[in-house]
Amino acid sequence: MEKFTQHTGVGVPLRRSNVDTDQIIPAVYLKRVTRTGFEDGLFSAWRNDPAFVLNQAPYATGSVLVAGPDFGTGSSREHAVWALKDYGFKAVLSSRFADIFRGNSGKQGLLAAQLAQEDIELIWKILETTPGTEVTVDLVNKQVRCADVTVPLQVDDYTRWRLMEGLDDIGLTLQHEGDIAEFEEHRASWRPRTLPAKHLPKVEVKAARAAGVPVEIGRPLPQN
């Protein structure tokens, strides 16, 4: 994971509360098998609206999303975080995040930073008055700076440390591989293993057919 200490980029004011993960990216995009390329799904229901903030030239290159409260509620789909990252966002600022969204963000190097709602309002005003204004998110000093405004940001110490060191969870956990191996040595032998596979005898499963009439496998299908 890339280290995150400080980022400066165009701020995007998203004046909406309760933006759930279905709004961030609809379920139809969940059938994809890639982790990238989700930018077209981001806020897809709103992107057809010319008035939507990302459709306005000064904001289109934005990388700091300044959102209303309760951002990222709903399903656990990590695709929401991927879509934001793929579009180019490095940080999301809000006064309240859904737990799972915040967790998924931290694992993907997207900073979900909590600000007081009045500070969000302050930044919204600057970004709307002077579109294209840059916002600096400073994780080292736990500050957000925008024009002449400097406000504090909140992020839990563990996530902050991980982001600043650029450590992904897997890398961190693998530092303790010795502990894992030792734990495994003492696991009780009754605990299950999926391999080698054990199961009841293999039995043929017949395919169900439309109209509720089961048809034997191998019988020729009706031609249309």
**Is 75 or 95 the residue whose CB approaches another protein more closely?**
75
Residue 44 contacts another protein per CB under 8 A = no
Residue 157 contacts another protein per CB under 8 A = yes
Residue 223 contacts another protein per CB under 8 A = no
Q: Cis check for the bond before 220: say yes or no (omega within 30 of 0).
A: no
Stretch that binds another protein, among 8-16, 46-54, 76-84, 138-146 (CB under 8 A): 76-84
Binder among 50, 190, 220, 222 for another protein (CB under 8 A): 190
Residue 108 contacts another protein per CB under 8 A = yes
Residues 114-153 interacting with another protein (rule: CB under 8 A): none
Cβ atoms of 129 and 119 within 8 Å: the answer is no
Residue 193 contacts another protein per CB under 8 A = yes
**Which tokens sit at 110?**
């997207």
How many CB atoms sit inside 10 A of residue 105's CB? 25
How many CB atoms sit inside 10 A of residue 217's CB? 9
Cβ atoms of 111 and 105 within 8 Å: the answer is yes
Residue position matching structure tokens 């098998």: 33
Residue 185 contacts another protein per CB under 8 A = no
In order of 129, 166, 209, 216, 223, the CA distances from 220 in angstroms are 70, 59, 13, 9, 9
Shortest distance (Å) from residue 130 CB to another protein: 35
**Is 116 or 172 the residue whose CB approaches another protein more closely?**
172
Orientation angle between helical segments 99-108 and 79-87, nearest 10 degrees: 50
Sites of contact with another protein (CB under 8 A): 30-35, 75-78, 82, 99-100, 103-104, 107-108, 156-158, 169-170, 172-174, 176-177, 179-180, 183-184, 187-195, 197-200, 202-203, 205, 207-214, 217
